[in-house]
Structures are given as C-alpha cells and as structure tokens.
C-alpha cells in the first residue's frame, strides 16, 4: 500500500520528540450496502474509506493522529502533529529511530472468493427479493420487509518502529432482515442476522426463504404475547445471541481498557474463582471464516485462542499491546479498531461460554416459576459500576417445569460479576452468533455465543 522507505520516514518524524514507540496504520476499504423496502430498492450505497492513523507512546501516554491524506506530505504532517502532542518536557530528549522492517508472514486461516465489486448486482437484487417474497408469502399480517446485504473488503498495513511490517485483507459479508407484522392496529417487529468473514459467493449458500419464514413466525409469537411479569426469578438464557449478556456484562470487564481503569469488578481478580465450575469462557480469533475471527489483529500480531475463564477461575484478561504495558499481563493479541479513525484497544473476537453437560429441557423442567429468554435483544453496561440492562426479544413464562405462554417487554438488569456467579447450569449445545460491538475503538465485528445457561436469580423488568 505504501513504500517502506516512506513509512520509515514517517515513523522517524513521529519519534523526533522522544517517543519510545511509533506505529502507522493504513487502510483502504470498499463497502457496499444494498437494501429493499416496500419490495423496491431502498438503499444502494458504495463507499471508499481511505486514510491512516499514526500512534506514538511516551510511557503510557498515547497520542493518535489521523489523516485522509496518504501523500508523503500529508503523512509527514500527521506525524509532526503526533510528535508535537508531547508537551511539558524540557531539555534534551532521547531520540530513537525506527528499525528496518521485517515483513511478517502469516498462515492463511480463512478462504476468500468473489469480491463485492465482482459479484453481479442483479444477483444481489434477486437475493433481496427472495427474502421479501418469502416473508410476504408466509403471512398476510406482514406489513413491511426490509432485507439488506452488506459487503466489505478492508486492506490494511500495520508498521511500527520496532520493525513490524504486516499487511492483511479482510472480507466481510452479512445479511440483515427486519420484518414488521400488523394485526388490528398492533405492530411487532423481528429480525434475523447472519454474517461471516468471507466473500460474496457465500450469499449463494444462504437459505433466504427459511430465514424469512422463521422471522415471520417469531414476530407472530410477539403479536400474541402478554407482557412479562416483574420481579426477581430464575432465568434460562438460550444459546446463540444469549451470549450477548456475557459479552457485555463480563467480556468488556475483562478487556484491559477496563481493567486498567479498575472498572466493572474484574480488576485484581486474576486466579480467583468467579463462577461455578461449569463455566468456561473463551475468546478465539482463529475459527476459520467466522465473523469475529482475524488473521492478524490491528497491531499486526497473529491472532490466537485465549481461555478467559476455566472452570470458573479467571485465567486471562483480553489484552492488547498498550494493555500489556499498563497491567503487566500477557498480550492476547486483541488490539482491534473499526478503522484508521480509531487507535486500537483491547477488544473481543469470537467470545463465548463453552458447552457444558445439561440439556435445555432438563433445565426448564426443574424450574417452578421463571423466564426462558429464547431470543435476546441488545443492551448496555455501565462502565463504572458493571450494571447492565438487556432486552429480551422473545421470552416464555415457565411454570411448574413447563413453558406456558410467550411474554414480551422483558428487560433483564443486574451486575456482571454477580450474574456470572449465579450461572448454575450450562447446556450442551453451543451456538455462535455474529454481532457488532461498539466501544472505545469503534464498532467491530465480534461473535457472541453460548449454550443455554441457567442464572439462578435475575431482576426481570416487566409489567
């Protein structure tokens, strides 16, 4: 993407005020979003993101400068801005020079095929129409269908003053489908998402009709659901996207961006037993062609698999380069960012609770009164206190060991580390689900996942 001689010149300028480390991240990304509404094309947008970020460190102090100008003049200007961010020093500075680059070689983990600009727009239109027709044909209650195809090809270069030179190309494809049903003035919506680290020919393998009819069926359940009861009770959170609670309420607390601030309750707990022995949690960037996977992270390090919690005991945090310096914990090669517009930070990849031994039916059977959260919505967590809130898209009331009726409008609230300690049973069917995770370094593709889990007590907000 850039000549090594130009990159070295840029890094040397960034180091000229005495920084101990300098890094250049360059990106060229093509993206495409196509969607329908009212059975007609709605959005047809192609974008080209192009720019660079320069990062320097003075001890733990980080300075990050971005620019769209990739000419030598533009990059040197950004490097000077980064160097000039260092203030308050006087006298001579110890200046180092960037080492000569040694290009990194990585094993190919993922396979790619047809790029978004090579895949015919007519075929994309045909896929969108298949979803639209299938949803509308499945129920006369369908009032709106909004399918969308998203494609992205991201080319990156990471080079730093320690001689690292790493280039990578990442391809992402994703399908969104939102469906709204209306009956006697009452509207309910449901959605489906599917995505992978891969290229556009994957669309040829997706069963769009099944996806559409399944969403309609799930929306119908909401249409006839009562409101959830309110109060504290046992909750079974189903597999797949149910893992979003672990991701938000615990996973973010394990990132060194949080640990270094002492937030979310996981700081200082390394080696402690935080959960029952049935709980093992993993962050893995190596699963082939999976949404949250990588080949290298955004600091140029080859990705790996990390056990975060093993049989209830905290074994590792999620650690990037800066986090390793700040906390002293081993780097888990988890430096990630949305684009060159963000400095990298410790972030999750494919992060999930590993399969246990229980069957979902047995867990339900053993509950007198509680909630089965079949499909989770989104949520958020307070970074200071670790208190979280999550919406349940589809829930069922459990009475005397049986699912008695669907309920809606349930919100689950609690504190991450306390909820982790209340997971008493873990199911035997692990399922992963793609998602987007927003945090300090932007919105990135991550996978959440888990088998069904039983939380012995949660506060359910309903009516």
Partner 1 sequence: MELMKQMEDRFTRISELARRDGVEAELLVEAGESLKLSVSEGKIEKFDASQSQVGGLRVILDGVEGYSWTEGLEGGDLESAYAEALQNAKFAKRGGPVAPAEHVTLYSGAEVTEDPSLFNDSQERFSIEEKIERAKALEREAKAVDPRIAKVPYNAYVESKGEVLVMNTKGVRARQRSSGVYCYAYCLAKQGEETRSAGETSFTRFADQVPIRETAHDAALQTIEKLGAVSPATGEYPIIIRNDVAAHFFALFKNYFSAKAVAEKTSLFATDRGQHVASPLLTITDEPRLKDGIGNRVFDAEGAPTAKVDVIKNGRLENFLTNTAYARRLGLPHTASAERSARGVLDIGFSNLVIEAGKDEFSALVKRYPKVIVITSFQGYHAGFNEGSGDFSLSAEGELWENGVKMKPLKGFVVSGSVKMLLKDIEMVSNRLCKITSSAVAPDLLIRSLAVAGSA
123, 193, 382 from 178: Cα distances, Å: 20, 9, 28
By CB under 8 A, is residue 22 in contact with partner 1? no
Distance CA 337, CA 321 (A): 13
Shortest Cβ distance from residue 120 to partner 1 (Å)? 10
Write out the DSSP string of 271-299. Answer: T-B-S-TT--EEEES-STT-TT--SB-TT
Among 48, 94, 140, 184, contact with partner 1 (rule: CB under 8 A): 48
Site for partner 1 in 360-379 (CB under 8 A): 377-379
By CB under 8 A, is residue 380 in contact with partner 1? yes
The SS3 of residue 169 is strand
Distance CA 451, CA 463 (A): 28
The SS3 of residue 87 is coil
Among 2, 69, 355, 424, contact with partner 1 (rule: CB under 8 A): 69
Distance CA 400, CA 248 (A): 31
Among 60, 91, 140, 184, contact with partner 1 (rule: CB under 8 A): 60
Site for partner 1 in 306-325 (CB under 8 A): none
Shortest Cβ distance from residue 183 to partner 1 (Å)? 11
Q: Which residue lies nearer to partner 1 by CB, 229 or 401?
A: 229
Structure-token pair, residue 158: 């990471």
* Maximum pairwise Cα distance, the chain: 77
Shortest Cβ distance from residue 107 to partner 1 (Å)? 32
Distance CA 441, CA 323 (A): 14
CA 311 from centre of chain: 24
The SS3 of residue 231 is strand
Contact 334, 254 (CB under 8 A): no
Q: Which residue lies nearer to partner 1 by CB, 65 or 453?
A: 65
Q: Which residue lies nearer to partner 1 by CB, 36 or 197?
A: 36
Site for partner 1 in 176-205 (CB under 8 A): 180, 182, 186-189
Closest CA to 310 of 285, 288, 279: 279
Among 347, 390, 439, 442, contact with partner 1 (rule: CB under 8 A): 390
Taking phi over 0 as left and psi of -120 to 50 as alpha, with beta for the rest, 231 belongs to: left
Shortest Cβ distance from residue 333 to partner 1 (Å)? 22
By CB under 8 A, is residue 231 in contact with partner 1? yes
Among 3, 45, 205, 271, contact with partner 1 (rule: CB under 8 A): 45
Structure-token pair, residue 390: 């999550």
Residue with token string 């399969």: 355
Distance CA 274, CA 419 (A): 10
Site for partner 1 in 262-281 (CB under 8 A): 262-263
Among 67, 154, 311, 428, contact with partner 1 (rule: CB under 8 A): 67
Q: Which residue lies nearer to partner 1 by CB, 178 or 284?
A: 178
By CB under 8 A, is residue 224 in contact with partner 1? no
305, 390, 423, 442 from 237: Cα distances, Å: 25, 11, 10, 27
Q: Which residue lies nearer to partner 1 by CB, 109 or 391?
A: 391
Site for partner 1 in 76-95 (CB under 8 A): 78, 81-82, 84-85, 87-88
Q: Which residue lies nearer to partner 1 by CB, 302 or 378?
A: 378
Contacts of 1 (CB under 8 A, 6+ apart): 26, 28, 155, 157, 167
Selected range binding partner 1 among 275-283, 308-316, 352-360, 453-461, rule: CB under 8 A: 453-461
Q: Which residue lies nearer to partner 1 by CB, 68 or 102?
A: 68
Q: Which residue lies nearer to partner 1 by CB, 189 or 428?
A: 189
State the number of binding residues for partner 1 (CB under 8 A).
Answer: 77
Distance CA 169, CA 302 (A): 13
Q: Which residue lies nearer to partner 1 by CB, 32 or 306?
A: 32
x/- site string to partner 1, residues 398 to 437, per CB under 8 A? ----------xxxx-x------------------------
By CB under 8 A, is residue 125 in contact with partner 1? yes
Q: Which residue lies nearer to partner 1 by CB, 49 or 307?
A: 49
Among 109, 270, 436, 459, contact with partner 1 (rule: CB under 8 A): 459
Closest CA to 365 of 387, 398, 323, 342: 398
Shortest Cβ distance from residue 117 to partner 1 (Å)? 9
Site for partner 1 in 135-174 (CB under 8 A): 143-144
Shortest Cβ distance from residue 385 to partner 1 (Å)? 5
Q: Which residue lies nearer to partner 1 by CB, 36 or 282?
A: 36
Q: Which residue lies nearer to partner 1 by CB, 7 or 75?
A: 75
Contacts of 156 (CB under 8 A, 6+ apart): 25, 26, 27, 167, 168, 169, 170, 298
Phi, psi of 251 (to 5 degrees): -55, -50
Selected range binding partner 1 among 74-82, 104-112, 161-169, 426-434, rule: CB under 8 A: 74-82
């Amino acid at each position: 993407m850039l000549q090594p001689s130009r990159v070295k010149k840029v890094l040397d300028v960034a180091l000229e005020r005495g920084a101990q480390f300098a890094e250049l991240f360059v990106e060229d990304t093509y993206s495409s979003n196509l969607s329908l509404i009212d059975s007609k094309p709605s959005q047809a947008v192609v974008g080209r993101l192009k720019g660079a970020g320069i990062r320097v460190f003075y001890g733990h102090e980080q300075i990050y400068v971005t620019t769209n100008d990739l000419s030598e003049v533009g990059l040197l200007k950004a490097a000077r801005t980064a160097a000039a961010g260092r203030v308050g020093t006087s006298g001579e500075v110890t200046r180092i020079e960037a080492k000569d680059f040694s290009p990194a070689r990585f094993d190919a983990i993922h396979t790619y095929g047809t790029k978004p600009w090579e895949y015919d727009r007519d075929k994309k239109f045909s896929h969108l129409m298949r979803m639209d027709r299938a949803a509308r044909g499945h129920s006369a209650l369908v009032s709106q269908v909004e399918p969308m195809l998203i494609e992205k090809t991201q080319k990156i270069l990471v080079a730093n003053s320690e001689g690292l030179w790493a280039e990578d190309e990442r391809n992402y494809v994703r399908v969104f489908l939102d469906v709204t049903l209306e009956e006697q003035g009452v509207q309910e919506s449901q959605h489906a998402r599917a995505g992978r680290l891969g290229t556009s020919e994957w669309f040829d393998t997706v069963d769009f009709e099944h996806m559409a009819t399944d969403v309609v069926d799930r929306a119908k359940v909401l249409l006839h659901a009562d409101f959830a009861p309110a109060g504290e009770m046992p909750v079974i959170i189903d597999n797949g996207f149910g893992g979003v609670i672990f991701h938000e309420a615990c996973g973010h607390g394990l990132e060194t961006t949080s640990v270094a601030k002492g937030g979310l309750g996981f700081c200082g707990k390394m080696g402690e037993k935080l959960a029952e022995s049935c709980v093992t949690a993993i962050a893995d960037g190596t699963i082939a062609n999976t949404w949250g996977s990588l080949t290298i992270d955004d600091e140029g390090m080859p990705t790996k698999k990390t056990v975060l919690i093993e049989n209830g005991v905290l074994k590792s945090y999620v650690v990037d380069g800066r986090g390793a310096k700040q906390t002293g914990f081993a780097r888990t090669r988890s430096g990630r960012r949305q684009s060159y517009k963000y400095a990298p930070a410790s972030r999750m990849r494919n992060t999930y609770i590993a399969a246990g031994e229980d069957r979902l039916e047995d867990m339900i059977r053993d509950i007198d009164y509680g909630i089965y959260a079949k499909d989770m919505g989104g949520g958020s967590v307070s970074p200071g206190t670790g208190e979280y809130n999550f919406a349940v898209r589809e829930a069922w009331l459990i009475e005397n060991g049986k699912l008695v009726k669907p309920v809606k409008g349930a919100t689950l609230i609690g504190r991450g580390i306390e909820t982790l300690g209340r997971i008493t049973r873990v199911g035997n069917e692990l399922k992963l689900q793609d998602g987007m995770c927003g945090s300090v370094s932007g919105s990135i593709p991550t996978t959440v996942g888990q088998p069904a889990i039983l939380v012995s007590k949660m506060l359910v907000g309903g009516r």
